[in-house]
Amino acid sequence: MLNYKKCKDRPRDFLAATSRTLEEFLQVLPAFEAAYLQRSPRELTHEGKPRHRRGGGGATGALPRMADKLLCIFVSQTTPPLHTMHA
C-alpha cells in the first residue's frame, strides 16, 4: 500500500504520484489536519452523536495517520484510473 513513510524519501516518485513536492505537501498538511479534526471530532461518532465509550477501541483504520490520508487524496486526484497506485 502506498503510504507517506515510503514516499517521503523518494522525491521524484512523490512528485509523480501527487503532482506536488514534499515541501508543498508539508505546507498543506497542518491545514488539512485542522479541517479534518473540525469536520470529524474525535469525541463524536461518524453520525455526529456524542460517543458513549472512549474512542480508540476496535480495529485501526487503513489510513491511521493524517499524512497518509492527505497522500491518498492527492494520489487519487492525480491518477484516478491507475488503481495500482492505491494498492
Of 11 and 78, the structure prediction assigns the larger pLDDT to 11
DSSP string, 22-74: HHHHHHHHHHHHHHHHHHS-TTB-TTSPBPSS-TT-SPPPS--SHHHHHHHHH
* Domains contained in the chain, number: 1
Confidence of residue 82 (pLDDT cuts 50, 70, 90): low
**pTM for the structure as a whole:** 0.77
Residue 32 has pLDDT above 90, yes or no: yes
Residue 11 has pLDDT above 80, yes or no: yes
- Give me the domain span that covers residue 74: 4-48+62-80
Q: Evaluate whether residue 31 is within a structural domain.
A: yes
Q: Evaluate whether residue 86 is within a structural domain.
A: no
Q: Evaluate whether residue 87 is within a structural domain.
A: no
Contact 73, 19 (CB under 8 A): no
Q: Evaluate whether residue 71 is within a structural domain.
A: yes
Q: Evaluate whether residue 36 is within a structural domain.
A: yes
Least confident interval from 17-21, 52-56, 66-70: 52-56
CA dist 28 and 34 (Å) reads 10
Q: Evaluate whether residue 53 is within a structural domain.
A: no
